[in-house]
Structure 1
Amino acid sequence: MRAELEKPVIDCPDPRGLAAFYARLLRLRVLENAPDWVVLGRKEGMRELAFQRVEPWVPPTWPDPDQPQQMHLDIRVDDVDAVEALALSLGARRAPGSPEVGYRVFLDPVGHPFCLVHGSAPVDDPRIGFDTSR
């Protein structure tokens, strides 16, 4: 038996618009492009991030504790200041109360939180020490 994560799918009001933001931020290519569904990846066959239209759209209200963020993306960067400048130029905004140590929290153009993670990674391979046999 085989089970592999293919991609996260992000709900949004405009899949093409939000996919364009992440494609430029993460240097990904558009692999599938329909009005209600867009898939991004580094190369053909690598379906890594998808966006689907949801109506009516209700944006996240993070950091409001009454409606949790539900999910967010951690994006590891080597130059946090340069990537922050790029993210802001593409329409992201800094989240209120974002920390400065280890990661910075932003909201994408429709309000999904994402983190720019910087500094040393805790381990080279995150699967080390994780038992998948259970």
Structure 2
Amino acid sequence: MPIGRLHHVILDCPEPLALASFYSELLGTPITYSDDDFAVVAANDHTSGLAFQRSRDQRPPTWPDPAIPQQIHLDVMVDDQAVAHERVLALGATPLPGGNHVYADPAGHPFCLIPRPGWAPPVGQ
């Protein structure tokens, strides 16, 4: 049985709504949520999609030069954060400081375990 299901792919950026507007137009997909620090582009407000999170000091990646790496993380929806916590640790994840249910994968990429939204079916289905 899976531990979780992908919720959003999240890009750090200085202006979430501006970047969401760009991707909304690019993909022909609506902005389904926004506040001062976060915006989501998805088919509707009951599906996963691209999200944009304010990073006030964000510096653009210098692709392909690794001097400033890509800034992205995954939100993984789970039915039970405590159970998922134990399972991701067993897989080799490492809890990261400064956040609740924020981890690094074995290669160091950050991801978050978030409670499954009420609109989403249970993860095992």
Tell me the CA shift for residue 44 of structure 1.
2.6
RMSD after superposition: 1.7
> Quick check: which one's strand share is greater?
2
Specify the SS of the correspondent of 2:19: helix
Residue matched to 1:16: 17
- What is the percent sequence identity of the aligned residues? 41
Distance 1:70 1:56, change over 3 A: closer
Higher relative contact order (CA 8 A, sep 6+): 2
Normalising to structure 2: TM-score of the pair? 0.51
Specify the SS of the correspondent of 2:11: strand
CA distance in 1, matches of 2:15, 2:68: 22
Query: 1:6, 1:48 within 8 Å by CA — same for their partners in 2?
Result: yes
Tell me the CA shift for residue 22 of structure 1.
0.3
Query: 2:59, 2:68 within 8 Å by CA — same for their partners in 1?
Result: no
Specify the SS of the correspondent of 2:7: coil
4+ residue segments displaced more than 6 Å? none
Tell me the CA shift for residue 27 of structure 1.
1.0
Letter in 2 for 1:27: G
Query: 2:6, 2:48 within 8 Å by CA — same for their partners in 1?
Result: no
CA distance in 1, matches of 2:54, 2:45: 23
Specify the SS of the correspondent of 1:60: coil
Letter in 1 for 2:42: G
Query: 1:27, 1:42 within 8 Å by CA — same for their partners in 2?
Result: no
Query: 1:15, 1:52 within 8 Å by CA — same for their partners in 2?
Result: yes
Residue matched to 1:63: 64
**Paired residues, what number?**
71
Unaligned runs of 5+ in 1: 72-134
